[in-house]
Amino acid sequence: MAKPSLTQPFAQQKPDDSYELYAIRVEYERRREELLEELRELDEWRFTNEQEYWQRRGASLHGESPGHLINQPVLSQQPPVRPETRLPPLPATPSRGHTKTPCPQQSPVCYADVLKQQIAEKEERKQREREEQRKQDLKLEGEKEKYNYWGRGGGGAPLKDVSGNLITDLKKHLRKPNPCESVARGEARPASRKKESASFSPAPPSTYGRGNVFEEGLTSHQRNQDQRHRDFLKLQIEENKRRQEEEREKVRMEEEREERRITREREIMKKEYEAELEKRRRKDRE
């Protein structure tokens, strides 16, 4: 490789390696001169502004001459280098680095508020579960009360009146007049009890006992069906109780797991909080 000539500047010397490297070097020199010129103009503008400021304010306020400036020109003291292309002058803008923007700091986390929020959410979830369980129990009880194994009365099924009482004598029940209908139709009451007794003979009193009214009116097949129905209802009640016990046990285990999780999180938060306090103390001591 040939040695660079001392008569020509380095930017005008062409190396022997390649034209691309030569172009890169020329571009580098040009950009360097442009940046130096831009910095020099900025330094001159700052120097001029400071000089005008001290001239307006007066050197007697601070007891120092206008020549003692805050920012002394640095680049302007260097010998000027004339670039090939001169950039236009920069507009009057404030110098860089004089304004300080406060950096936003992250607010500290309040662990007590976080724990209170978790406890409130847990209580609200428990309340919703209790309300749902209560609604399901009420719905099941209503279905049990409305359920009728026999369906409509008659055909072997016990008959009941409007009040829900068993009808032991159907003929007597049918012959019994409705007082509301009698008054509405304007029917006259019988003149005496003797005429009423002469018209028909009342049915003999029932000999059924109070406890076996339902049993005496049924056949053996109906008794078997009734017994099976009772067994089925008993199994349903036991199954519902067992299911409720399982649900309560499941809820209890879930609550225990939640308590353990909250306790672990609380310990972790406490350790982090203590570590943060210790870090702040060390920083304050420094």
Q: Which residues make beta-bridge pairs with 157?
A: 154
What share of the chain has pLDDT > 70, as a percent? 51
The answer to whether the CB of 76 falls within 8 A of the CB of 44 is: yes
Q: Which pLDDT score is estimated for 75?
A: 47
Residues 6 or more apart in contact with residue 173 via CB below 8 angstroms: 159, 161, 167
117 shares its domain with 71: no
Q: Which pLDDT score is estimated for 6?
A: 46
φ/ψ of 154, rounded to 5, equals 105, 165
Count: domains in the chain: 2
**Is 256 a domain residue?**
yes
- 37-57 pLDDT per residue, tens: 998 888 888 888 888 887 787
Question: Which of 60, 77, 94 represents a domain boundary (last residue)?
Answer: 77
**Is 99 a domain residue?**
no
**Is 126 a domain residue?**
yes
DSSP state of 60: T
> Which residue, among 89, 53, 59, has the nearest Cα to 71 in the 3D structure?
53
Residue 47 CA to residue 89 CA, distance in Å, equals 15
Residue 202 CA to residue 195 CA, distance in Å, equals 13
Residue 175's Cβ-side half-sphere holds a number of Cα atoms within 13 Å equal to: 10
Residue 76, pLDDT > 50, answer: no
**Is 101 a domain residue?**
no
DSSP state of 77: G
Residues 239-261 as b or e (16 or more Cβ within 10 Å = b): eeeeeeeeeeeeeeeeeeeeeee
Question: Which of 54, 77, 100 represents a domain boundary (last residue)?
Answer: 77
For the record, the structure tokens of 61 come out as 């306020």
Rounded mean pLDDT of the chain?
A: 70
Structural domain span for residue 132: 111-198+218-285
DSSP state of 11: G
Residues 6 or more apart in contact with residue 190 via CB below 8 angstroms: 196
Residue 200 CA to residue 172 CA, distance in Å, equals 11
User: Which segment of 23-27, 36-40, 57-61 scores lowest on mean pLDDT?
Assistant: 57-61
Query: Greater confidence, 217 or 265?
Result: 265
The answer to whether the CB of 190 falls within 8 A of the CB of 196 is: yes
- 187-232 pLDDT per residue, tens: 445 544 544 444 445 554 444 444 444 455 567 878 888 888 888 8
261 shares its domain with 130: yes
12: amino acid identity, one letter: Q
Q: Which pLDDT score is estimated for 129?
A: 92
The answer to whether the CB of 172 falls within 8 A of the CB of 203 is: yes
